[in-house]
A and B are shown apart, each in its own frame.
Chain A
Amino acid sequence: MVKGSFETMGTVMKVPPSFIVHTPTLRNYVTLILKHPVLRWTLNSMIVAVSVTAGSVLVSCLAGYAFAKKEFRGKQGLFWALLVTMMVPFYTILIPRFIWVKQLGLYNTYAGMILPLIFSAGSIFLARQYMTTISSELIDAAKIDGASEVQVFLYIIVPISKPLIAVLSIFGFMGNWSAFLWPLIITSSSSMRTLPIGIVTAAALPGQLIDIGVSMAGATLVALPMFIVFICFQKYFIKGITIGSIKG
Chain B
Amino acid sequence: MKKVFVIALLVIGLGLAAFAADKVTIRFWTGPPDEVVLGAFEYFREQNPDIDLVCEYIPVGNLREKVLLALTAGEPPDVLYDYIGRTSAWANGGFLEPLEDTLTEEDYEDYMPGMIELNSIGGHFVSYPLSITFRGYAVNRTLCEQAGVADLLPTEPGRNWTFETFMEVANAIKGLGIYPFGFFAKGASGDYYMLTYFQMFGASLYENGDYTKTTLNSEAGVRALQWMIDMVGQGYAPKGVAGLADDDYVAMKVRGQIGMSGWVDSLEQLELNFKNGIIDYVPDWYMVSLPHVEGIPGPPAYMAWSTAVVFKGQSAEKLAASKRFARFLGGEEFYKMRSTPNGLPQCKSYNIDHLSENGKFQTEWASVNGVGDLGYASPFYLEVRDLQYVALQEAFMGLKRPKEALNDFADAVAKLWE
Contact = CB atoms under 8 A, between A and B. Distances in A.
A and B: interacting chains: yes
Given A184-B58, A209-B268, A98 B34 contact: no
Interface string B126-150: 0000000100000000000000000
A242 interface: no
Interface in B262-288: 265-266, 268-269, 276-278
B340 interface: yes
Interface stretch (B4-12, B61-69, B329-337, B408-416): B61-69
A116 interface: no
Contacts of B268: 205-207, 209
A8 interface: no
Given A184-B59, A185-B69, A209-B268, A204 B32 contact: yes
A185 B70 CA distance: 9
A16 B278 contact: yes
A18 interface: yes
User: Which range holds the interface residue count of chain A?
Assistant: 20 to 34
B65 A204 contact: no
Nearest to A211: B272
Contacts of B65: 185
A63 B293 CA distance: 72
B17 interface: no
Contact of B278 (A18, A185, A189, A200): A18
A208 B60 contact: yes
A234 interface: no
Interface in B1-46: 31-32, 34, 36-37
A197 B56 contact: no
A85 interface: no
Interface in B204-234: none
Contact of A209 (B72, B269, B278, B340): B269
A201 B66 contact: no
A185 B66 contact: yes
A190 B72 contact: no
Contacts of A99: 69, 72-73
A202 B37 CA distance: 14
Nearest to B83: A208
B165 to A, nearest CB: 31
Contacts of A102: 73, 75
A77 interface: no
Contact of B340 (A98, A188, A206): A206
Interface in B38-95: 56-60, 62, 65-66, 69, 72-73, 75
Contacts of B340: 206-207
Interface residues of B, number: 26
B29 to A, nearest CB: 9
Q: Which of B34, B66, B69, B277 has the most CB of A within 10 A?
A: B69
Nearest to A212: B272
A17 B278 contact: yes
Nearest to A97: B69
A18 B340 CA distance: 28
Contact of A204 (B59, B73, B266): B59
Contacts of B37: 206
Contacts of A209: 266, 268-269
A22 interface: yes
Interface string B326-359: 0000000000000010000000000000000000
A209 B36 CA distance: 15
B59 A200 contact: yes
A243 interface: no
B395 to A, nearest CB: 28
B122 to A, nearest CB: 25
Contacts of B56: 188-190
A88 B225 CA distance: 40
Interface in B241-298: 265-266, 268-269, 276-278
A1 interface: no
B276 A18 contact: yes
Interface string A152-180: 00000000000000000000000000000
Interface string A70-105: 000000000000000000000000110011001000
Q: Which of A18, A200, A206 has the most CB of B within 10 A?
A: A206
A188 B278 CA distance: 38
Given A17-B278, A209-B269, A201 B62 contact: no
Interface in A1-37: 16-18, 20, 22
Contact of B72 (A95, A202, A204): A95
Contact of B60 (A22, A98, A204): A204
B334 to A, nearest CB: 13
A137 to B, nearest CB: 52
Contacts of B133: 207
A98 B69 contact: yes
A16 B62 contact: no
A22 B133 CA distance: 33
**Those 6 A-B pairs whose CB atoms lie nearest each other, nearest first:** A204-B32, A201-B32, A200-B59, A206-B34, A18-B278, A98-B69
29 contacts: A16-B276, A17-B278, A18-B277, A18-B278, A20-B277, A22-B277, A94-B69, A95-B72, A98-B69, A98-B73, A102-B73, A181-B62, A184-B58, A184-B62, A185-B65, A188-B56, A189-B56, A197-B59, A200-B59, A201-B32, A201-B58, A201-B59, A204-B34, A205-B268, A206-B34, A206-B36, A207-B265, A207-B268, A209-B268
